[in-house]
Chains A and B, each alone.
Chain A
């Protein structure tokens, strides 16, 4: 499992980028993208913004309230994109690249070594990664909730203007996002 996480400003500028691997079930927290996948990841996330806008302004699935967590919204090849949207229209996008076993690409049966999100419990009966399985959604949601909390603390800093496209450089922020990733993904 490899992840690529980006925070987009309302004007589509990436404010923060972090890529990491799973830390669950013996994962080492290091992303395992191939070079071409890694190069395409920004493009995939950027193109997913089209879908974010559509989901954001489209008919609400939950009654009444507009949810911040938009769940799994887009997919390109083997990359799955989930989204969280804040009140100020800042978008958190998480790209998930499951291991080949979890996609049924290689012959070995996956499931014994998986992270919480899409790992053991996220596997469907077929043993494949399913982005809308409840366990997967829950894990990604927990991650987003943590990041949101840190993010709110960051933007409360009067010297930081997310709307201006200021890029988050704080090492504390990076460490905390890393910790959240380690905890939930």
Chain B
């Protein structure tokens, strides 16, 4: 038959497609040539390896997600589990589905805490080897608060969570979307003495889809070129890989995690708005109380103030950092007492050692890797380690007593200050704002607002905020003390405290209000969060509410994020659809159909680049696969659809030159096609299909050999996919030759230019600047 042979001339066409994608990095057309231009694939850099390894494994199985069902293989006994018609709760998962992504989503929306330290503190911390100052020291520890955190929801029921966390952020550094450059300049008055300002670092803010794609591509390439021999893979090949559909690929988890990392500070949602602020001074400071006051006033209405749509009167937490080695503890205690007298209970004395710690020290602990760093940060980190030639790990170490002190501090900060404060705010706003809006008079108010706005002349309403609407349509935000803004904050607090019921009802009210005000981005945000909190609520949902409410909310949110406005926000549309799809998939059964529908919406609207396309195609397959049929014939299953999409995913990976992923997909597809007989090779129904699959398998094998630095012309000729002894030979040979070739290219005279070539310009300059700064210290 002709088509499989026709598949061969495809690559040129697709390579053109690839270049038209908005990937910032120039792709070399063949993987073999791109590997030679990348300095990254030296197996001799253990720290780099550790970085890739840690991210991939962390995203694969979270230790924190203790409640996740073990990823059991699909048991044949599950045939008779009834078709639940999408009414499943996330608590009762279909067999073989882990709620890894649900946990991920819950953890992603965490309260943000802004960190501000005086000059002496920053010096002290930098003396310990943390160039990023106090923020760098605190950040990894804040991501998971040790021990259980108990939260009371609006009805008074307490619930404990193991995986609660907060995000420590710098002042103003997560401001705005990357696509809004004007904002940065307008309030970019930064203090030059604050060294950790974001101008010289990679942006800690996420929200840039192209960077996420680039990062995941980096990880993919690393896995592509640094896996163990093909031999072991072929040894494993005979075994059925049953977990293939149950757990998602680690790269998808990574994609999702980076999508949710570093939420930008924007007017239309308050997740990134600070819930609390840590103000730290050092015991070396001669005038501590004055310094605290000064820092507070700078943040409250001085040069470090947040933009005017951010509520400025958030909780302040005062920390005195005591230097264990040079400081006098009696004096520090005295200072701390006076701090408590002046500022109340929200104070802490943090005792740190000021000396630099090295890995060989007795009780030294490596600073944990940040799990929720933004894509640009991780890219910069990768590049830094690639360019660093030494074998040693650049990650700073710190003594064990310090980690204990920091953990205690964070636990106290979260459990005794932040959460009670948020709970109090929720109940206050619930009584004062929400109840009034919900009550009879509130309904009349919102009605009369709508009617009078027709009556009054609309001519002047665009320039000034009209008397009826609190929305400033010119600048696109609500003032932080407007009832709408407070309600949004209330709903977001509920969401962060995982009280999804109250959150849902508030988002629902807000949705109509924002719609009346024509605040489209706010409207989209409310609809998005309404859908997500409805899906996160643990409780059965009839398929009717699901189709009527959630679908229309997701639809409205994705539409309003992309189309309705002049400035579209595709990042948020992607977030809406991706989160909706994951949570729907967990509900199993017919909800999985909707999940697949939203996933194909992502592909159709072109919200993602090449990497995302492949990942989401794979995901559609997983969505279909999650649906089990009933009865012995498995009626209503989507096995064939899943297999079809797996084939599509394999093709898409192959086009990108990712042989490992393509192979995984095609194995998965064949497993889905041939569930009846697991023994022996399965013949596909059509001869065309079989030929297509065989052909693709062969091409993938060729690509894989090419990725290992071999010419594929003689290897892909022998059609049998298991050329055992030749493979052994090739693998050892490649291990022998490749590193040496790269060494040579690095040592050569043109090495720096060559090494910097694949970097994206932004990150490159950031890395350079960072290096300069490091030398200066």
Interface residues of A (CB under 8 A from B): 8, 12-14, 17, 35-36, 38-40, 42-44, 46-47, 49-51, 53-54, 57
Contacts and interface: CB of A to CB of B under 8 A. Distances in A.
21 contacts: A8-B685, A13-B685, A14-B685, A35-B3, A35-B7, A36-B3, A36-B6, A38-B2, A40-B648, A42-B686, A42-B688, A42-B692, A43-B644, A43-B692, A46-B640, A46-B686, A47-B645, A53-B635, A53-B636, A54-B636, A57-B636
Given A36-B10, A39-B7, 5 more contacts: A39-B3, A43-B644, A46-B685, A47-B640, A49-B640
A39 B692 contact: yes
B638 interface: yes
A47 B641 contact: yes
A57 B640 CA distance: 17
Contact of A57 (B2, B10, B635, B641): B635
Contacts of A47: 640-641, 643-645
Question: How extensive is the interface on chain B, given as a class?
Answer: 20 to 34
A31 B637 CA distance: 32
Main secondary structure of the interface of B (DSSP, over half): helix
B4 interface: yes
Contacts of A57: 635-636
A12 B686 CA distance: 10
A13 B715 CA distance: 34
A13 B676 CA distance: 14
A48 B3 CA distance: 20
A135 B66 CA distance: 57
B689 interface: yes
Contact of B4 (A39, A43, A49): A39
Contacts of A17: 686
A129 B6 CA distance: 28
Nearest to A49: B640
Closest 7 interchain pairs by CB? Answer: A35-B6, A39-B3, A47-B644, A42-B686, A47-B641, A47-B640, A42-B688
Contacts of B10: 36
Contact of B689 (A43, A50, A51, A54): A43
B647 interface: yes
B3 A50 contact: no
A17 B1 CA distance: 13
Contacts of A50: 624, 637-641
Interface string B2-15: 11101100100000
Nearest to B643: A47
Given A35-B2, A35-B3, A35-B6, A42 B639 contact: no
A50 B623 CA distance: 14
A44 B644 contact: yes
Main secondary structure of the interface of A (DSSP, over half): helix
A17 B685 CA distance: 12
Interface of B: 2-4, 6-7, 10, 624, 635-641, 643-645, 647-648, 685-686, 688-689, 692
Contacts of B637: 50
A49 B640 CA distance: 7
Nearest to B669: A43
A104 to B, nearest CB: 14
Given A14-B685, A46-B686, A53-B635, A39 B643 contact: no
Nearest to B633: A53
Contacts of B689: 42-43, 46
A42 B2 CA distance: 13
Contacts of A14: 685-686
A18 to B, nearest CB: 13
Contacts of B686: 14, 17, 42, 46
Best-buried of A14, A40, A49 by chain B (most CB within 10 Å): A40
Best-buried of B7, B637, B643, B685 by chain A (most CB within 10 Å): B685
A132 to B, nearest CB: 18
Contacts of B641: 47, 50-51
A49 B641 CA distance: 8
B688 A39 contact: yes
A48 B99 CA distance: 29
B685 A36 contact: no
Contacts of A36: 3, 6-7, 10
A128 B6 CA distance: 30
Given A36-B7, A57-B635, A46 B644 contact: yes
Contacts of B643: 47
Best-buried of A17, A42, A53 by chain B (most CB within 10 Å): A42
A78 B692 CA distance: 21
Contacts of B6: 35-36, 38-39
Nearest to A12: B685
A43 B644 CA distance: 6
A49 B639 CA distance: 10
A54 B692 CA distance: 27
Nearest to B7: A39
Contacts of A13: 685
A49 B685 CA distance: 12
B685 A38 contact: no
Contacts of B648: 40
Best-buried of A40, A47, A54 by chain B (most CB within 10 Å): A47
A131 B509 CA distance: 39
Contacts of A49: 640
A50 B3 CA distance: 24
A56 to B, nearest CB: 9
Nearest to A47: B644
